[in-house]
Amino acid sequence: MLQRASKRVTLLNRQILTVAQMQAAEQALIDAGTSVDALMLTAGRGAAEWIWRVAAGRSVTVLCGPGNNGGDGYVIAETLRARGLPVNVVAPIAPKTDAAKKARRNLKSGVMTSGKDAHGDILVDCLFGSGLSRPLSAELLLVLRDLAARHCYRIAIDLPSGVSSDSGELLNDTLPEYDLTLALGAWKYAHWLMPCSARMGVKKLVPIGVGEVGDAAMLLDKAVVTAPAFDAHKYRRGLCVVVAGSMPGASVLASMSAMHAGAGYVKLHSRVTLGHAPTDLVVSEDALADDRAASVLVGPGLGRDDEARALLRQALGTGKPTVLDADALHVLSPGMVPDGMPVIATPHEGELEALCKSFAVIASGKVTKAKALAAASGMVVVAKGPDTCIAAPDGRVCFAPPASSWLSVAGTGDVLAGIAASRLATGSPAFEAACQAVWLHGEAARLAQGPFTASELAGKVAEAYAACL
């Protein structure tokens, strides 16, 4: 019973909601008997607990807006004041919602309408929350920037003011950066999407009782992998075939990572002899014809000519679960992937845009594009970058926490593709294999520290795998 309860809490703490989903989740709590005032008290007091710890006796300025985010700010200010912290409250606009008005009445201190005389060590931004859809006015932006410049530590409540919750877009230029962001109730898309996520500092979740939302996106969790069974042999663990093209170095690199990510056997399909291949990598000109193959990777170093397109068709013709990466994404066209075939595509931003054009997907925003492309193509789409998201054809979406920025070096995408193909070879379904690969890739980067090369990253995949056992 306790284990099931713990798993449910972990699940709830990983939910990532759109604005509409969050509003529906809050309404469900209200319909079940919780008042808006009670939700505000829970959110405000939960956030105040974090701020109390961070403040450690230092003075706090709370900037309140006219909506319920501002109401949270009044609750925070009163909670901190009652604990003995010196608190200033700045409210350029009077509260407009009933709950915010009540929270303002319960505040046992004065409120300044201008921030010019407000000084302190910590700024708490409660100006606007996740519902904001338009830029801040010039006057409010000036107040926010001025206060941010005069406080050495900045905390955003729910989201920094001036951002779009569903896209992570900055609605204003020159918005301040924050040291801590306290998400209220559930994570929002902007917490994990660039460019907003890079400006939030450390992110913490303040629960308010939100229940499970069935179609919510999820935050990527630690990969669930296993050691081989006692009676395992190389083919039972899975044979992964990596296809080499005109530039075989990339496919060798992908093979190196695949060899450390769970597959029992990795073969490199190459029509030329490779003198620089590792001694424990089997190179064969007919690896794609091996019926024992459990997965295929095609794309790294493939090229983009007619020969590359023929190799791609041959790889897809095996009917095996397949990872498409790099050049394969440029020569892929609608109709080449057999219906129902498990396929993972790993596009970066430019490749995602090109694939959307190829599959006639009209969408804006990284997540929306990935979801629409997955639905249109039948592929699991790993839209990689500093804000990687994974989308399945059935609508499931997973966001990866930020990984090391040292991954911004040539060849690390080949390492990711190799891990994904290896996970497919072990029998993991495509969406799960993609999620496992992204987590192992990020953990390998953490272990490699940096700066590192792609081959050094591949050398850390086994250690990342071991961390999951």
Query: In the Cβ-directed half-sphere of 465, how many Cα atoms lie within 13 Å?
Result: 22
Identify whether residues 402 and 305 lie together within a single domain: yes
* Relative orientation angle of helices 68-82 and 98-105, to the nearest 10 degrees: 20
197-215 pLDDT, tens digit each: 999 999 999 999 999 999 9
Identify whether residues 169 and 76 lie together within a single domain: yes
CATH code assigned at 129: 3.40.50.10260
Question: Among 153, 187, 217, where does a domain finish?
Answer: 217
- Assigned domain for 86 exists: yes
15-72 pLDDT, tens digit each: 999 999 999 999 999 999 999 999 999 999 999 999 999 999 999 999 999 999 999 9
Identify whether residues 194 and 271 lie together within a single domain: no
Identify whether residues 438 and 301 lie together within a single domain: yes
CATH code assigned at 331: 3.40.1190.20
Identify whether residues 152 and 94 lie together within a single domain: yes
Range(s) of the domain holding residue 86: 11-217
304-350 pLDDT, tens digit each: 999 999 999 999 999 999 999 999 999 999 999 999 999 999 999 99
Identify whether residues 205 and 333 lie together within a single domain: no
- Assigned domain for 405 exists: yes
User: Total structural domains in the chain?
Assistant: 2
In angstroms, the CA 267 to CA 300 distance is 15
Helix, coil or strand: residue 438: helix
- Assigned domain for 222 exists: no
- Assigned domain for 271 exists: yes
Identify whether residues 58 and 108 lie together within a single domain: yes
Identify whether residues 18 and 130 lie together within a single domain: yes
In angstroms, the CA 350 to CA 248 distance is 23
- Assigned domain for 72 exists: yes
Question: Among 217, 246, 271, where does a domain finish?
Answer: 217
Identify whether residues 139 and 239 lie together within a single domain: no
The backbone torsions φ and ψ at residue 303, rounded to the nearest 5 degrees and listed phi first, read: 90, 175
Query: In the Cβ-directed half-sphere of 227, how many Cα atoms lie within 13 Å?
Result: 5
- Assigned domain for 201 exists: yes
- Assigned domain for 331 exists: yes
Identify whether residues 197 and 241 lie together within a single domain: no
Helices (H) and strands (E) in the chain, counts: 16, 18
The residues, ordered by sequence, that sit 6+ positions from 67 with a Cβ below 8 Å of its Cβ are 95, 96, 97, 100, 128, 129, 131
Which residues, listed in sequence order, are joined to residue 345 by a DSSP beta bridge?
324, 381
Question: Among 189, 217, 245, where does a domain finish?
Answer: 217
- Assigned domain for 316 exists: yes
Identify whether residues 238 and 212 lie together within a single domain: no
**Cα 56 to the center of its chain, rounded Å:** 31
Identify whether residues 29 and 97 lie together within a single domain: yes
First to last CA, the chain: 24
What secondary structure letter does DSSP report for 198? G
**pLDDT one digit per residue (tens) for the chain, 469 residues:** 545 555 655 778 999 999 999 999 999 999 999 999 999 999 999 999 999 999 999 999 999 999 999 999 999 999 999 999 999 999 999 999 999 999 999 999 999 999 888 888 999 999 999 988 899 999 999 999 999 999 999 999 999 999 999 999 999 999 999 999 999 999 999 999 999 999 999 999 999 999 999 999 999 999 999 999 999 999 999 999 999 988 888 999 999 999 999 999 999 999 876 767 788 888 999 999 999 999 999 999 999 999 999 999 999 999 999 999 999 999 999 999 999 999 999 999 999 999 999 999 999 999 999 999 999 999 999 999 999 999 999 999 999 999 999 999 999 999 999 999 999 999 999 999 999 999 999 999 999 998 999 999 999 999 999 999 9
